[in-house]
Amino acid sequence: MGADIHHDDDSSSSSTPQEEEAISVCLRLRPPNKLETSRRGRSCISIDEKKIIVDSPLEGEFEFEYDEIFDEGASQASLHNSITMPLTSRLVSGYNVALLAYGQSTSGKTYTLMGEGDYLNLSPPPKPPQKQK
């Protein structure tokens, strides 16, 4: 199972982690906030395929692996098409699904799940399977 790194220019369509595994863990990196931007610090996170590398000046490097990574430029549509739509399709096909957002307070969980504006009209909902007569 390979992870894809997504950003606004990414229009590739490959199988999603949800189609291959019972549980998948995806990561969305948020852009720096105003305070972080005003301090002109450098990011301590780099992306290497399906891993992020955190470089701490005091603690050294740490690597974390994910099924799918969305960088700071990833759009709501990118997350919706890659994660939400496949889960919704499985749900209407009769499977149990769950979508969780986990993170520190004010880290963007609500925005990731809810977005802003017209996010609900990104694509039509999948149709439920039709029973054969």
Mean pLDDT by 10 residues, the chain (133 residues): 50 51 85 85 87 93 94 87 90 91 83 68 61 69
- pLDDT at residue 13, as a whole number: 47
Helix extents (H) in 1-133:
17-20, 34-38, 76-79, 85-92, 109-114
Annotated binding site for ATP: 103-110
Residue 9 CB neighbour total at 10 angstroms: 8
Q: Token pair for residue 26?
A: 């995806």
Query: What superfamily does domain 5-110 belong to in CATH?
Result: Kinesin motor domain (3.40.850.10)
| Helix %, strand %, coil % of the chain (to 5) | 25, 20, 55
Query: What pTM value is reported for the model?
Result: 0.65
Annotated binding site: 103-110
Q: How far apart are CA 130 and CA 123, in angstroms?
A: 20
